[in-house]
Amino acid sequence: MSGSAAKKLSFKQQQLQFRENAILDVVNRLLAKKGFDLMTMDEVAAEVGIAKASLYKHFESKEVLSAASMTRLMEQTIAVASSLPASLCALDKLKSIVRWAIQTHLGGTMPLLPSTRSSIQQALLTYPPYIEKLSALTEQLGGWIGEAQEHGTLSNTLPGEVILYTIFARSCDPVADFLKMGGAFSDAEIVELLIRTCFDGMTG
């Protein structure tokens, strides 16, 4: 009896989780496509197929909704980082992360809003779950960066801070969009071109 009740509750919770995941999928795509400021709650509700008021039953504001989407994305990135083969050297791990990010970005499901100008930026900083994941990822990447610098595969005269920010920024580089718009390269080619210019520059 109690087992059945527990199962029923769990099922309801699963349903809820499933619905909210579907919402976040839409938000992720819309954030990637239009950014926070241009995305409207009407639009989100319409694409999910529910009324706007229902949307607000799940997420109390546009800021929280977007922050939740960004947090889930952060979790996915951490998962990718964790699942990398241990046999890879630190530099290749870093390249793999950037490669995955650019691929996802080109696929249209990676919200790129590290633009300091988006009004969500401050909301993110006051959303603990996001900060937590961001810190975890930063620590992971920071370790690899230090490792690569010790091995001499990344310049050790370059501040680790600069390398870290550069990796984050290249993950949502507008160059990818422009090259895709140009139509001269396949997605795979664009990814490799960006990886190359990011790590090896344009002189070599």
Partner DNA sequence: GTCTATAAACCGATAGAC
Partner DNA sequence: GTCTATCGGTTTATAGAC
| Residue nearer to a second copy on the CB measure, 8 or 196 | 196
Identify how many contiguous H helices and E strands the chain contains and give both numbers: 10, 0
Q: Are 93 and 167 in contact (CB under 8 A)?
A: no
Q: Which of 113, 44, 39 is nearest to 74 (CA)?
A: 113
Q: Which residues bind DNA (CB under 7 A)?
A: 12, 16, 19, 39-42, 49-54, 56-58, 60-63
SS (H, E, C) 40-67: CHHHHHHHHCCCHHHHHHHCCCHHHHHH
Strands (DSSP E) contained in 57-190 are: none
Output phi, psi for 119, to 5 deg.
-75, -5
Closest separation between CB of residue 23 and DNA, Å? 9
Alpha carbon distance, N-terminus to C-terminus of the chain: 70
Choose the one of DNA, a second copy, none that binds residue 57, judging by a C-beta under 5 to 8 angstroms depending on kind.
Answer: DNA
The neighbour count for residue 162, using CB atoms within 10 Å, is 11
| Token output for 110 | 């990676």
Q: Which of 3, 49, 85, 182 binds a second copy (CB under 8 A)?
A: 182
DSSP 97: H
Give the pair of three-digit tokens for residue 128: 């603990």
Q: Interface with a second copy includes 131 (CB under 8 A)?
A: no
Of the candidates 76, 96, 103, 166, which one interacts with a second copy according to CB under 8 A?
Answer: 166
Q: Which is nearer to DNA, 4 or 203 (CB)?
A: 4
**Which option in DNA, a second copy, none does residue 86 bind, with CB closer than 5 to 8 A by kind?**
none
Report in angstroms how near the CB of residue 59 gets to DNA at its nearest.
8
Cβ 37 to DNA shortest distance, Å? 8
Which one of 49-57, 63-71, 129-137, 169-177 is the stretch in contact with a second copy (CB under 8 A)?
169-177
Give the range of 11-19, 72-80, 129-137, 170-178 binding a second copy by CB under 8 A: 170-178
Q: Do residues 120 and 100 touch, judged by C-beta distance below 8 A? A: no
What residues between 7 and 46 interact with a second copy by CB under 8 A? 33-35, 37-38
Return residues touching a second copy (CB under 8 A). 33-35, 37-38, 91, 112, 114-119, 153-155, 158-159, 161-163, 165-166, 168-169, 173-175, 177-179, 181-182, 184-185, 193, 196-204
